[in-house]
């Protein structure tokens, strides 16, 4: 059991917070609490939103007595509960780290005293955990970046960052699922779609899944991009044991 704090979040929501750190044990505890709530009284809530160290509960109705609701939530958190866990997957994401796409690689290399190849190796050899999805539909917040690659966000964000851009921001790495403004440091590009409204599950990954980046050449990127456009490319995945 973790020590949690409960805060009102408007008239129809409660914000529950864990210790402020990016930690798999905390993520698993959040996901378990979420399943307990879904199992107990699912009709009470419109949404259960997972963060790095938080769970936001959005209610269908106004909360009449916040203190009473907190006591109820505490009782739910404490109960023993076994649920049928869905499979989690490791998704292999091809990334082209060519400097044509990785426009900030040289700056990171200079300031970190790492060669570009060392940066690519450190970034692509790790397995990252999906903690939650936010900022943009399909934007995965990933934990597990090597500390050697921690690099501050840019003081002046770019107005346009391309869809599929792989970047580093602070202690995190991530992929922009659509074109947007952004202040993270760009190190590569993937042709994969991370959000597709035409699919039953618009975002293929979920909290608890993992991401493994695979380095590809510029030639391979161009070929894969064509396959993705034709909807012929299937993302490689395997079940986490």
Predicted confidence (pLDDT) per residue in 143-199, tens digit: 999 999 999 999 999 999 999 999 999 999 999 999 999 999 999 999 999 998 888
Output the CA torsion 120→121→126→129 (10° steps): 0
5-78 sits in which CATH class? alpha beta
In contact, 100 and 108? CB cutoff 8 Å: no
User: What is residue 40's predicted lDDT score, i.e. its pLDDT?
Assistant: 83
Q: Which of 126, 227, 209, 228 is nearest to 168 (CA)?
A: 126
Domain-wise residue ranges, the chain? 5-78, 89-239
The tokens describing 165, both together, are 């851009």
User: What is residue 11's predicted lDDT score, i.e. its pLDDT?
Assistant: 93
Output the CA torsion 240→139→224→171 (10° steps): -70
Helix %, strand %, coil % for the chain, to 5?
25, 30, 40
Positive or negative: CA dihedral 69, 37, 91, 27: positive
- Average pLDDT of the residues in 107-127: 97
For the stretch 39-73, pLDDT in tens is 888 889 999 999 889 999 999 999 999 999 999 99
**CATH no. of 89-239:** 2.40.100.10
In contact, 122 and 146? CB cutoff 8 Å: yes
* Helix spans in 41-125 (H): 66-78, 105-112, 116-124
Instruction: Report whether pLDDT(85) > 70.
Output: no
The residue with greater pLDDT, 119 or 44, is 119
Asked if the domains at 5-78 and 89-239 fall in one CATH topology, the answer is no
């Amino acid at each position: 059991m973790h020590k949690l704090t409960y805060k009102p979040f408007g008239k129809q929501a409660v914000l529950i917070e864990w210790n402020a750190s990016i930690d798999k044990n905390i993520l698993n505890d959040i996901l378990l609490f979420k399943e307990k709530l879904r199992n107990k009284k699912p009709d009470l809530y419109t949404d259960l939103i997972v963060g790095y160290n938080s769970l936001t509960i959005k209610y269908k109705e106004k909360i009449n007595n916040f203190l009473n609701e907190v006591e109820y939530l505490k009782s739910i958190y404490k109960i023993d509960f076994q649920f049928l866990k869905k499979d989690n997957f490791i998704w292999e994401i091809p990334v082209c780290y060519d400097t044509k796409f990785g426009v900030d690689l040289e700056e990171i290399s200079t300031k970190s005293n790492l060669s570009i190849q060392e940066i690519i190796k450190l970034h692509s050899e790790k397995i990252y955990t999906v903690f939650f999805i936010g900022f943009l539909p399909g934007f995965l917040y990933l934990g597990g970046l090597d500390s050697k690659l921690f690099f501050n966000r840019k003081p002046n964000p770019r107005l346009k960052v391309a869809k599929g851009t792989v970047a580093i921001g602070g202690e995190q790495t991530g992929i922009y699922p659509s074109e947007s403004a952004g202040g993270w440091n760009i190190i590569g590009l993937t042709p994969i779609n991370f959000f597709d409204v035409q699919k039953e599950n618009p975002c293929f990954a979920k909290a608890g899944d993992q991401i493994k980046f695979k380095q590809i050449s510029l030639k391979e990127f161009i070929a894969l991009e064509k396959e993705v456009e034709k909807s012929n490319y299937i993302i490689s995945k395997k079940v986490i044991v």
